[in-house]
A and B are shown apart, each in its own frame.
Chain A
């Protein structure tokens, strides 16, 4: 695995700012990124941990992040989802959230079940 910088922004705005740097990749559960890093398929210079962002829904505080994979647009999708959540009172189970599940051809993993 390559050496990288690890940051854990506290706010969505900070996370988006960090992810706008080309060297950054978002880290959620890791099941679609860390496995690739172990084989140097992915070698991100910086990981932005989005697990602690205040992205809570009333049904599952961890659902949006856990369902999201490690891509920049996914976080933005989450952020949009939160906006939707705020307006409608619905959970963030938006169709754009889980689209990268199993995208690397891996088996269903415990984190994804």
Chain B
């Protein structure tokens, strides 16, 4: 299996939640494993580890991706936001507040991915109605089945913002 007996580690730099990290990683290390195992940022969850469940969703340059399928080396120079980086100045992100208010979880394992995904969705603008939110959050599975409240929480935050943004345009 190991056809390349020795491969040098690749130097990369990542800005994670506002902090610059200079790292050396093997090419086969995923962004998810780098975050969790090397940087102890365990808020990002490993669910299926094959891009099906969305628990590992993070924002890379503002765009939501599955970190389990992203090789860390290919994201060299990127700006990454994880669930740990959404809150600022001692205040929760509005999506985090909405998830608490709407009780939008049961076990909570998918929640970091759900919230990061919703944060990414905000910039995409596909939140005009509930069906649209459900469709564009469909990459994030919740095995507890808390979708009703998850959609409510996302709608609470995103629909007014999108409406205001489009009214301004």
Contacts and interface: CB of A to CB of B under 8 A. Distances in A.
Interface of A: 1-6, 8, 27, 29-31, 34-35, 38-40, 43, 45, 47, 49, 51, 106-111, 113
A39 B69 CA distance: 12
B54 A3 contact: no
Contacts of A108: 138-139
Nearest to B26: A3
A45 B51 CA distance: 22
B93 interface: no
A3 B126 CA distance: 39
B51 A106 contact: yes
Given A29-B65, A110-B57, A3 B139 contact: no
Nearest to A45: B3
A35 B67 CA distance: 11
Q: Kindly list the 9 A-B residue pairs having the minimum CB-CB distance in the complex, ordered from nearest.
A: A6-B27, A110-B64, A34-B69, A30-B69, A35-B50, A35-B51, A3-B2, A1-B28, A3-B4
Given A3-B7, A6-B10, A47-B27, A110 B1 contact: no
Contacts of B70: 29-30, 34
Interface in B1-36: 1-4, 7, 10, 27-28, 30
A43 B4 CA distance: 12
B71 A110 contact: no
Contacts of B2: 2-3
A31 B138 contact: no
Interface residues of B, number: 31
A106 B69 CA distance: 13
A33 B117 CA distance: 22
A40 B28 CA distance: 13
Nearest to B3: A45
Interface string B82-123: 000000000000000000000000000000000001001000
B95 to A, nearest CB: 15
Nearest to B6: A3
A34 to B, nearest CB: 4
Contact of A6 (B50, B66, B71, B136): B71
B70 to A, nearest CB: 6
Given A5-B7, A108-B138, A31 B69 contact: yes
